[in-house]
Structure 1
């Protein structure tokens, strides 16, 4: 646990901008890019008092601010080898132009990078991480999510997550030709290093629709249009998918928002621009009161 006095002393003398994070789980929202000591101190005090994230904010991580493009890199590791899954670009900021507070993710696209850059990520990030875990006696098994910042072509690690991402999972999984059963079979027999991950030669763009007030004070209870609410996600047509998130059924069986991110629509296409057009076209068919979404996903 971070001592409040130590954190405040450091923040008063630091150079800005810098990044202040709640160390615990905060649904992707426990991060502030602070541009002044006053802004950082206000955030830190709210964390220590438990006003924002409860016990998750009692330990703070203070980091250098990096300017670049976010990348989400995913692998499935079996303790001996691993399979590299499609890489996505995630848009964390709430508003167009990468402005506003950080969120759990407002959209993204895949694939995001060249094979050459991914070779660099393998060499400098993925394999050193897996080697260190094995050397420590804890060989990693399962999905591993590397949250990276691409700065002048170099990968910088921001975070690790032992899961897939949201909305990245919705974006990357439709691009994989292999069945999930095949991936998990090779995982079970610890031969993922021998598996060729086959990808559809297409692009995927995902756009998140959230309720008004997200992420600080999201509104709830707004009725959603009548559409199939298949568990997990539904294929709207050959090129678009819908994945529900913060919704529930009322006493009449109608879907209503529960606050926060409500759904993700994913468009597929032979080019990034076509995939983007299809995602936004599907979005327009799913309105609800107070809906908010970014208009520049895969355009910025």
Structure 2
């Protein structure tokens, strides 16, 4: 594990997947990140690249050097399951990088650099992605987070005592297609997100809630009887997905995505994927999540 810390927070990151594994405030000793030690969700905060969610037909069709190339791809991409290289580390900052290997070349045709950066500033952890196209071809991809926040403030593991605080607004809600329970239905629902969004396992009995078109990029995790919480801010990540497991696990995932899981009707062509990100040759793009722990 790689450790960074300041006078407020202690953070642990696994080089496998460049995955955030622990954030503890020094003054209250609260663990804010789901440890993945019980229930069926064994990860804590996987980084998703180069695709989000389930993949139509389990393969992606890319334009490469004037031709088409079809390669296999797994759910949420391969970055979460690979070892990153630690390229910079000091007391308050760590930078991890994933670059092509023989394994990735069999699944993704582009030369790329995918950096995951963690940096502490007071009680805020900045969690950034930098994607660089190191190829002469135009590069297509998705990128996003999947952080599971531990619902254990003041030792209270009752999930229903927690809630999300949103800016009250209208947006689109996508749900899984009941015909296959793996891909999204394009029949979205226009919803009003309440300012206070109470958490319950019942809301997730059909899996994740995928919100698209939100104007605000700020959400707080709060507890009915605690002053502790999390302020979560995301940039350049237009989709916000909420998810928890309906088993006894006590966490809520906040998943900001530049991308979205495939729809039932999706073709395998990479250009047809909703929110597909495009980088021209040697272009770079940055995405960020700022998480304040209080």
- Tell me the TM-score normalized by structure 2: 0.27
- Tell me the TM-score normalized by structure 1: 0.27
Q: Which has the higher helix share?
A: 1
- Return the structure number with greater relative CO, CA threshold 8 A, min gap 6: 2
